[in-house]
A and B are shown apart, each in its own frame.
Chain A
Amino acid sequence: MAVKRRPLRTKILLHLGLVPFLIFALFPFYHMTLTSLKTDRELYDRAAVPLLIRQGPTIEHYQKLVRDTGFLTWIKNSLVVTLLATTLSVVIGTVAAYALARLRFFGVNSFGTGIFVTYLVPTSLLFLPLAQVVNWLGLADSKWSLVVTYPTFLVPFCTWLLMGYFRTVPKEVEECAMVDGATRVQALLRIVLPLAVPGLVCAALFAFTLSWNEFIYALTFTSSSEEITASVGVTMELVRGDIYFWGGLMAGAVLSSVPIVILYIFFLDYYVSGLTAGALK
């Protein structure tokens, strides 16, 4: 792709080519938000145009969601689980990644391979026996079971990602500090970690997103309304026998996505780089 000015017409055609992709990507979110803001009367009027709000937007569904359901508890549970699992995983991942990137010791290569294999193990392969382990640990139907189990897929991811970042920090910088009398741990804390801040931010963001979005473990290990997370609560508890639940359901789905959307808007570039690094590094 030589750098030359393309004629305007080609450029417009290019953008037109992107339109179907953008509609495909964004339309579900538009429609979910729209549904959550419509009155029931308009929502279930089969003659109405589903793409617009004609009878005025309403926040009725959101009010009902917050007032009449356990939604706020579910969000709180999601936050507790996500923040704890993320912190735990980033710390464990950081030390493991440092060991893999820098230290030579017995079994280091097998450990690296083990981490990589674990990274590829899908959660749907293990949820059945893990439910038994959770029972034995006395954590059945408790959000703490999620704090304990989420690191199983977060730690391999964080380790893998951070190992790449640690390798980009020149060894010499660290060695200089150690010649000046710093221990290895001090060199890690004061020299390597500050240089790897982008990697740490990226690992934390992805760990947060992956645990916020996790569904199968949360669905299997927790069930009472006081312990479930937002995605399980919205999916399992807002669908009632009565058929006119769509407004509230969409309101729940939209509102539970807000924390991720906020992070996403502020850290878009980290998401892009983390996505490729996770697969390519």
Chain B
Amino acid sequence: MAISGVRGGPAAPRSGLRVRELLDHERFLGPAFVTPALLLITLLVAYPFCMAIYFALSNSFIGRPSHFIGLQNFVTLWESDSFRQTFQNAFVFTGAAVAIKLVLGTTLALLLNQQLWFNRLIRGAVLLPWVIPTALSTLGWWWMFNSLYSVVNWSGIALGLMDPPGPNWLGQKYYAMTAVIAVNTWRGLPFFAITILAGLVSIPRELYEAAEADGAGPVARFWHVTLPLLKPVMAIVVLFSTIFTFSDFNIVFVLTNGGPINSTHLFATLTRQIGLESGQIGQGAAISLYLFPVLVFVVWVQLKFVRRQVY
């Protein structure tokens, strides 16, 4: 078949003009456009992920050849107290933080949805914790929870809410967990509030007018109109937040570094301690892989229910 003349045909390019024509053809331009992203994801996401699985199944140790040991790392982990404690912490931390963020975030979104003075200024203030580097703002919280100079305790005592000297926030098991949950809530609340607010704004006003005409009070309108229509948005926010709370590193690393006695360790911080600081790469990788089932679950729910309209 003659090569010339077919505009953008699948002919081999012979000149600059041909390349130009080829680029006009979706079958060539498409792959050309996605190649950089695809290379990046393959080399620096998919490949390291496979390495994580390989490490997890080996007795890999920094500076030592490794051997395949099957599921031995996972068995060893289950027998260690620090890992079991971490496993429990991860669920307590994520469950509590996501629940608190959902309740407070919805409340805040409802308040922001009213006609307010200084609307823009208030939204700006509310969103601020989310844009400031987390590691740095957590340093501020670290200082606020300092055992000697805690401003939290000073305020609590001044307001009569605490008996002096107040709790040693980062030195006692349950208080330390409360502290990391509080900071995670502080950091993640803007995401919940602003996203749920976007959901609130999109609810048609007529529905409220109809409900009001039927005699529904503000509480009934919230339960029977607002909440059912907000469910999809809430579901997305909760799913997103679950992944990022479950895999949190910055807050715990800066605030407690897992202590006291592993009571605030999460998978990510324990991964660093075992995999990098103690050099047991195999075990570290096995710990980090515990994040994977949660990821799979969230992706599955999102693809199946939430994003059906996209693909």
Contacts and interface: CB of A to CB of B under 8 A. Distances in A.
B250 A95 contact: no
A112 B311 contact: yes
A272 B136 contact: no
A209 B131 contact: yes
B128 A111 contact: no
Q: Which of B31, B37, B271 has most chain A Cβ within 10 Å?
A: B37
Interface residues of A, number: 99
B250 A128 contact: no
B40 A151 contact: yes
A96 B36 contact: yes
Contact of B45 (A35, A118, A260): A118
A33 to B, nearest CB: 9
Contact of A152 (B40, B247, B250): B40
Contacts of A66: none
Interface stretch (B77-85, B108-116, B172-180): B108-116
Contact of A213 (B41, B134, B198, B292): B134
**Secondary structure dominating the interface of A:** helix
Interface in B73-118: 104, 108, 111-117
B13 to A, nearest CB: 14
B233 interface: yes
B115 A271 contact: no
Contact of A215 (B38, B212, B249): B249
B70 interface: no
Contacts of B310: 112
A104 interface: yes
A280 B149 contact: no
B268 interface: yes
Interface string A249-275: 110110011001100110010011001
Interface of A: 1-2, 6, 11, 14-15, 17-18, 21-22, 24-26, 28-29, 31-32, 35, 43-44, 46, 50-51, 92-93, 95-96, 98-100, 103-109, 111-118, 120-133, 148-149, 151-152, 155-156, 159, 183-185, 209, 212-213, 215-216, 219-220, 230-232, 234-235, 246, 249-250, 252-253, 256-257, 260-261, 264-265, 268, 271-272, 275-276, 279-280
